[in-house]
Structure 1
């Protein structure tokens, strides 16, 4: 089985509300506020941030656009953009899951919406080539989930039939797009729940 991992919120820590509460304590005093501010800042990974994800604009331009759109000072917006790499720390339970899947003989790939500067950081900082046979970052290929084009590119890149790909992602829209391409898919909530699902599919021993 070829198992395909999303990165943010799956392999690497990504919880925008708590992230913004740490980086912008003067603007975000609670997780509830963090959810509201994150919706403005990241636009559900569409808009300005979606272009950044796809590698169509760079960090300086996304800062300029977010500041112009929201009225937040450019320096504060830039501080958030700079802080993202430090937020993207490996999730220990997912790393254990990756190692167990490799030990069970599965081939692992990744398919991640990730701006190019952050993709470069992850590639340089963590053993991606040990964990994964291959992968695609949206910022490098100028396509992003949940658009069908990135799944088509992934099928060609990973090889095999779509039915032999099992996708783990924490966004329902990305899961739905994978299922529409005849992939198998599991919505990731936490590594423990996904492990139980993989055991039930006889992809891991209980």
Structure 2
């Protein structure tokens, strides 16, 4: 079985509501306000941010567009864009899960919507080549999940039939897209529950 990991929220910390609350205490007082601001800022990873994810616009351009669209200051928006790499901290429990899956003989890949500057940061900061046989960053192929083409690119890159791929992602739309292409997939909510699911599928021992 080939196991495919999403990155943000699965391998690396990504919780936009609390992230924005920490960065913008002058603007956000509660997690509810943080969630609302994140929905406006990231547009569910479509819109301006989706273009950034696809590598179609630069960091400077996404700052300009978000500031123009929202009325938030360029300084505030730029602070968020600059801070994302530090926010993408490795989740220790997932690092252990990756180690255990590799020790069990599974081949691992990744499939991540990730703007080019952040993809470069992760590749420099972590031994991705040791953990994963191969992977696809959206900004490198100019596509994003949940598009069918993004999954088709991954299938070609990974070199096995879709039925041999098991995908872990924290967004339901991405899980549904994988299932529609005959991948195996389940929604990642936390590492402990993912481990239980992998044990139930007899991919890990209890």
- The TM-score bracket by the shorter chain reads over 0.9
Equivalent position SS for 1:185: strand
Task: Please state whether the residue corresponding to 1:102 is helix, strand or coil.
Answer: helix
What is aligned with 1:23?
Answer: 23
2:35 aligned partner: 35
Ranges of 4+ aligned residues in structure 1 off by more than 3 Å: none
In the aligned structure 2, how far is the partner of 1:113 from the partner of 1:21? Answer: 23
* Residue of structure 1 equivalent to 2:72: 72
Equivalent residue, structure 1, for 2:48 = 48
For the pair 1:143 / 2:143, whether they are aligned, the reply is: yes
Task: Name the CA distance, whole Å, in 2 between partners of 1:93 and 1:180.
Answer: 29
Find the counterpart in structure 2 of residue 191 from structure 1.
191
Separation in 1, partners of 2:160, 2:96: 26
Separation of aligned partners in 1, 2:28 and 2:149: 36
Distance 2:138 2:82 in 1: 19
> Is there any run of 5+ residues in structure 2 with no aligned partner, and where?
none
What TM-score, normalized to structure 1?
A: 0.99
The alpha carbon displacement at 1:75 in A equals 1.1
1:42 to partner: Cα distance: 0.3
5 Å matches for 1:111-150? 111-150=111-150
- Give, in angstroms, the shift of residue 181 of structure 1: 0.3
Residues of 1 paired with 2:21 and 2:139: CA distance? 26
Distance 1:133 1:39 in 2: 33
Unaligned runs of 5+ in 1: none
Deviation at 1:28, TM superposition (A): 1.0
Question: 1:90 aligns to what?
Answer: 90
Root mean square deviation of aligned Cα: 0.4
2: CA distance, partners of 1:186 / 1:98: 16
SS in structure 2 at match of 1:194? helix
In the alignment, what sits opposite 1:4? 4
| TM-score of the superposed pair, with normalisation by structure 2 | 0.99
Quick one: distance in 2 between partners of 1:76 and 1:145?
Answer: 27
SS for the counterpart of 1:97 is helix
Give 1:109's aligned residue.
109
Q: Offset of 1:38 from its aligned partner? A: 0.3
Describe the superposition over 1:134-160 as per-residue Cα deviations: whole angstroms up to 9, x where unpaired.
000001110000000000000000011
Question: Cα offset for 1:162?
Answer: 0.3
Task: Give the distance between the partners of 1:41 and 1:137, measured in 2 at CA.
Answer: 21
Q: Distance in 2 between matches of 1:152 and 1:43?
A: 24
Residue correspondence of structure 1 range 174-189 to structure 2 within 5 A: 174-189=174-189
Equivalent residue pairs, number? 206
Q: CA deviation at 1:161?
A: 0.7
Match of 1:195, SS state, is helix
